[in-house]
Structure 1
Amino acid sequence: MVRILIDLRRSIARHQLAGAHPALLAVTALLVLASAVGTLLLGAAGYARDGTATDVLALVSLLWVGGRLAQSAMTGEPFLHPELFGLLPVPRRRLARSLLVVGLADPANVLLAVASAAMIARGARLGPAATAAAIAAVLLTVAVTSVLATVAAGLLGPGSRRGHDAGTVLTAVLISLIAMAGTLLPALVSALRDRSAPWLTALLRALPTGWGPDAVAAAGRGDLPGTLLPLAGIAAAGALAAAVWPRVLGRRMQGRRPARRGRGVRAGRRSPLGSSPTGAVAAKELRMWARDPVRLTCLVIALVVGTGAGVVPRVTAGTGLLLPFAGAMTVVIAGACACNVYGNDGPGIWPTIMTPGAARADVRGRQLGWLLAVGPYAVASTLVLTAVSGEARFWPWAVALVTALLGGAAGLLPVASLIAPQPLDAAGNPTPGWSIKVHIALLVVPMTALPTLLALLAGLGWAAVPIAAATGALLAFRLGARAVTVLQERQVELLQTLTRNTQAPH
């Protein structure tokens, strides 16, 4: 049965990836492989203190395992959806065991093994016993992570209706933390080397991802109990996840959903945004940012990463230089993620196209909805974090930049969404093209604040704030007007693009 499932998975993967751009797949694979090799080199490097190597390996292990689990929770099992087996006369436990074995054949496990081999490189420096412990730790880490990824995909992935519960938020927070830690990896490694953040060392050692490096270090000291106990803990975590998996699989196959009450719309209830077409679109957008898994994930990532990029240096290095700009960084990330909202909606654009004169209300409503979703938090975090940062000289910089970026991002949102829209795949997940577009937008959104930045560099101080407000409002209005024109002129072409090769979710 395992062989049949592996062949089936391979066939489905070959069919789904047939339309993907080979160059994009190759570049992505090379970048991930380069990261894995870079992690391997961290294990081979020398450190002034013995404990530093263990801390660094625990950190990179957390990033790789966490990233693997976050990816599975976000996208689910992309090929063998549990719902496909609901009508098969196969015992649930047997099917569950088979799917766990199939999960071990995932190519992502190879990359995780290369990265985890940093423990073997470290063990080779400490002696044969440490090397043997490192090999055991790598095998256990890869196997247990594969089991946990399978469970995460079944519990939180597409098809589990995670968009209607806390699963989306949990997944988004995990992705955010992993992305933030990966971005700040050099600063975190420096903090571990300097012992400037004892809490970070304690946290990394306590998490299961730190047990493997702990076992390697203990084997290097000749501490047998200290070697076996962490390895046994990893194995126990995998056994617990494997024991839970049949129940999770059963719920997915039977389509059980918790009952939800009180979600109905009360008759005569008025929207606080009014009854105008623009207000109706804005209200719909607010609901989409709160309920759609892709949008909510992006929004939470923007909030966590934007704020964390300012807070982490304060906690680890004692510098508050980035705290005033946490709101601005949040706006940049949220604006970049919003630059494909039409692509995210897919065929849902049909009502707008079929309603005469709806283009303007649709564009302006999307702009207003995004501003209401992001603006209050960005402004509040800017004011609060600037006040506690102790960097009073950055007040005009923080206020001016967040003002300019809010207007600029709101202007880019609709027009960038209509330029090369990237529809989601058949399972409702972002595609490589979507990811590339967001990364390009991460570079373009900050450029909308260039006039404000030049005014600040020229020493205008608070005088840069009205410049920021003027340029932001101008960009929001003019780019929005341009988006209305594009939407009116290319409605049919847009619908064809968003419905081309569209398949119903499995």
Structure 2
Amino acid sequence: MALGLTYATSLTLVRMRLAALRHALRDSNRVAWIGTGAFLGLVLAAGTIWAATKGDTDLVAVAVAVWMLGWVVGPLFAGGGDETLKPEYFTMLPLPPRALSGGLIAAALAGVAPLVSLVALLCLVVVGGQLSVGALLISVPAVLLQLLCFVLASRLAVAVYAVLLQVRSGAVLAALVNAFILAFAAQGWALIAAFISTDVQGTIARGARIAPSGWGLVAVEATGRGDWLRVLLAVVGLVVLCAAMFVAWSALLVRRTTAALAGVRVRRQLTAPDARGAAAAKELRTWARDLLYGHRAVFAIAYGLFFCMMPLAVGWKGMLPWAGAAAVVMGGAMFSNLYGADGTAFWSTLMTPRSAQLDIRARQRAFLLVFGPPVLVITLLLTWWSQAGAWPLVLGILPALLGGAAGLIVLASVYAAVPTTDAHKRSGNPLNSGENEGETMGLVYVMLVLVSLTAAPALGAALAWSWWGVPVGLFSGVLAWWYFGRLAAGRLEQRGPELLTLLRHGRTTGEHVDKASLSSKMALLPRWRRYLAGFCLGFGAIPLFPQAVVPAIFLLNAVDAKAWFLALYVEPRWQWPVIIGMALLGLGMYAYGGWTYWQASKLRPEAQHHLQPEPQTP
């Protein structure tokens, strides 16, 4: 009976998942993202299979470990992964936990990502075919068990992460892990170079085989040698591990759908002598008690430290002075949707007369109090440790970034608020902020660029006149803090009711129509042009920043490091032309993508009508 119920539930949920995927494919933008991700995944899968055809089983073990690592950490950066079917949707149904868990796992296997991973795991079949017929046969269940292990590990990681975010120490730990992983994605070349220089490739391969991601390969290789005990241990180990992860995830799923939040006793009343103090105290309480606020603040500061300290693995201290600046830029991006995070709680601010100015300034002061002291200490200590002559640059850029970030976060929060799930309605997965996760991530990417640009006057003054960059940075930071805050307060005073409506009900019908019309207008353009525009907007940062801005800073500061920067590998007379060329390429990619979308947005309705194909009569 239990197995029959689990099978029926799984079949129903798989059908629901496939139906949702079919509906998603009607959106040209979603199709472009899914197609791009699938293409890149298949390219990586082809590389994994190619390594297997060359007989390099060590490389195959490491590649499969990287695939499993992607399954575990990927959802942590993508809003908790794909939760088209949330467990909360089925809490009112009389389903046993095991039946619901089994159905959700089966539905998770019905998607593009598992299919791409299945193609990559065919490398085990290739290895088995090169060894013996028995190894080829054992590779088939090994592939299926390994894929199931990937999906279960991904779901369990998200569930554990969600539990950690519900306690303060866990939120801090999760932020540190998250920051290290993201910094490794950008600066991992230093650690990899250190590993290669110490000749530990064999150690990495052995570690990849010991990890659960390598047990399928171990089973295949052991079959080729006739070591049946090792085959049995590897296969049974995968089965037991999958069962254990399934049971643990089911238990966390029950906790997620049934646990109730306990009341919190107020330890100290919120008192203040005036309205200004009340606004400041309210905002500081929010930063201190909302675990997501604390998580994001720790993440931003830890990311700056990890990003700039990883090059120490190869003995390069040139990035150390910029750890504080990197933390401010990341912090400005992470807190660019303050009113969206408030949700409908914004009504209490809106109903208080003449509160807009006070609330805006209170949010700015809270940001400066949280980020200002730690990033200043980090900057001073690491700049002194690096023994680099970067004091004028650092001391000019840091106040400019702090003031710019404090001004831009409130400006973006008012002008570009993104509706998210209210704090009291958050699901058991705090990573999922609602249906507008894509808009939230888009705002984060834009803010990374905008906050960085606020340092341009101080950077130019410091490069041209050395210590004069410090007063320029102070002046530009104060100006950005004051002027952007003034704009945000004026907008909040005039359009506060509209903002509350947006946060409460989401996009209005007119806004949905405008958004859909842009998608439909883009669909009228040739497919190659749409995809090229998306590619340019997605990858224009690669030639612009790591291949132009960073090597330019290296040359100006006489940094003796090449890493993966193309301009530093050519002859000195060609270095600046390469940097300028890369900068023009990156700016050109952004310009082409933006120009394409701008042209599509200007199409008139009658033009759309004439461009649409005529319906064919049977």
TM-score range, shorter chain: 0.7 to 0.9
- When structure 1 is superposed on structure 2, of 299-308 and 114-123 the one drifting more is 114-123
Report deviation, 1:154: 4.6
Report deviation, 1:114: 4.6
- When structure 1 is superposed on structure 2, of 408-417 and 90-99 the one drifting more is 90-99
Report deviation, 1:243: 2.9
- When structure 1 is superposed on structure 2, of 66-75 and 414-423 the one drifting more is 66-75
Residue correspondences, number: 491
Among 338, 348, 351, the residue aligned to 2:348? 351
In structure 1, how many angstroms separate the alpha carbons of the residues matched to 2:285 and 2:202? 38
1:140 aligns to what? Answer: 145
Q: CA-atom RMSD, angstroms?
A: 4.1
Change (3 A) 1:34 1:461: farther
In structure 2, how many angstroms separate the alpha carbons of the residues matched to 1:287 and 1:240? 40
Q: Percent identity?
A: 28
Alignment of 1:55-454 (within 5 A): 56-57=62-63, 60-68=66-74, 70=76, 74=80, 77-82=83-88, 84-85=90-91, 88-114=93-119, 116=121, 138-157=143-162, 162-195=165-198, 201=204, 205=208, 208=211, 211-212=214-215, 215=218, 222=225, 224=227, 232-255=236-259, 263-267=265-269, 275-292=273-290, 294-315=292-313, 317-388=314-385, 390-425=386-421, 428-429=433-434, 431-454=437-460
| Mapped contact 1:61–1:116 kept (Cα < 8 A) | no
2:31 aligns to what? Answer: 26
Q: Deviations over 1:224-260 (max 9, x none)?
A: 4777655554443322212334433443343255x67
Change (3 A) 1:52 1:78: same
| Mapped contact 1:401–1:468 kept (Cα < 8 A) | yes
- When structure 1 is superposed on structure 2, of 162-171 and 45-54 the one drifting more is 45-54
Q: Structure 2: which amino acid aligns with 1:393?
A: G
In structure 2, how many angstroms separate the alpha carbons of the residues matched to 1:369 and 1:342? 14
Aligned residue for 1:163, secondary structure, equals: coil
| Mapped contact 1:339–1:438 kept (Cα < 8 A) | yes
| Mapped contact 2:20–2:84 kept (Cα < 8 A) | no
Report deviation, 1:105: 3.0
Structure possessing the higher relative contact order (Cα contacts under 8 Å, 6 or more residues apart): 1
Q: Deviations over 1:113-171 (max 9, x none)?
A: 355556667778889888777765543332123223334455554xx694345444444
Report deviation, 1:418: 1.5
In structure 2, how many angstroms separate the alpha carbons of the residues matched to 1:423 and 1:412? 18
Specify every segment of 5 or more residues in structure 1 that has no aligned partner in the other structure, as ranges. none
1:457 aligns to what? Answer: 463
Report deviation, 1:294: 4.4
Report deviation, 1:442: 0.9
Change (3 A) 1:385 1:238: farther
In structure 1, how many angstroms separate the alpha carbons of the residues matched to 2:499 and 2:472? 35
In structure 2, how many angstroms separate the alpha carbons of the residues matched to 1:37 and 1:211? 20
- When structure 1 is superposed on structure 2, of 15-24 and 88-97 the one drifting more is 15-24
Specify every segment of 5 or more residues in structure 2 that has no aligned partner in the other structure, as ranges. 427-432, 508-618
| Mapped contact 1:163–1:292 kept (Cα < 8 A) | no
In structure 1, how many angstroms separate the alpha carbons of the residues matched to 2:25 and 2:505? 14
In structure 1, how many angstroms separate the alpha carbons of the residues matched to 2:292 and 2:369? 18
Report deviation, 1:109: 2.5
| Mapped contact 1:359–1:487 kept (Cα < 8 A) | yes
Report deviation, 1:397: 2.3
In structure 1, how many angstroms separate the alpha carbons of the residues matched to 2:139 and 2:192? 21
Q: Structure 2: which amino acid aligns with 1:184?
A: Q
Change (3 A) 1:53 1:5: closer
Change (3 A) 1:16 1:156: farther
- Whether 1:478 and 2:483 are equivalent positions in the alignment is yes
Report deviation, 1:341: 1.2
Report deviation, 1:42: 4.2
- Whether 1:469 and 2:474 are equivalent positions in the alignment is yes
In structure 1, how many angstroms separate the alpha carbons of the residues matched to 2:501 and 2:339? 13
In structure 2, how many angstroms separate the alpha carbons of the residues matched to 1:204 and 1:461? 49
| Mapped contact 1:281–1:361 kept (Cα < 8 A) | yes
Q: Deviations over 1:185-215 (max 9, x none)?
A: 5555555544467899389638736535863
| Mapped contact 1:177–1:304 kept (Cα < 8 A) | yes
| Mapped contact 2:142–2:235 kept (Cα < 8 A) | yes
Change (3 A) 1:229 1:19: closer
Report deviation, 1:329: 0.7
Q: Structure 2: which amino acid aligns with 1:400?
A: G
In structure 1, how many angstroms separate the alpha carbons of the residues matched to 2:280 and 2:200? 44
Report deviation, 1:422: 0.9
Report deviation, 1:38: 4.2
Aligned residue for 1:393, secondary structure, equals: coil
| Mapped contact 2:42–2:119 kept (Cα < 8 A) | yes
TM-score for the superposition, normalised by structure 1: 0.81
From the CA coordinates, give the structure whose radius of gyration is larger. 2
Report deviation, 1:394: 2.1
In structure 2, how many angstroms separate the alpha carbons of the residues matched to 1:123 and 1:277? 72
Change (3 A) 1:246 1:449: closer
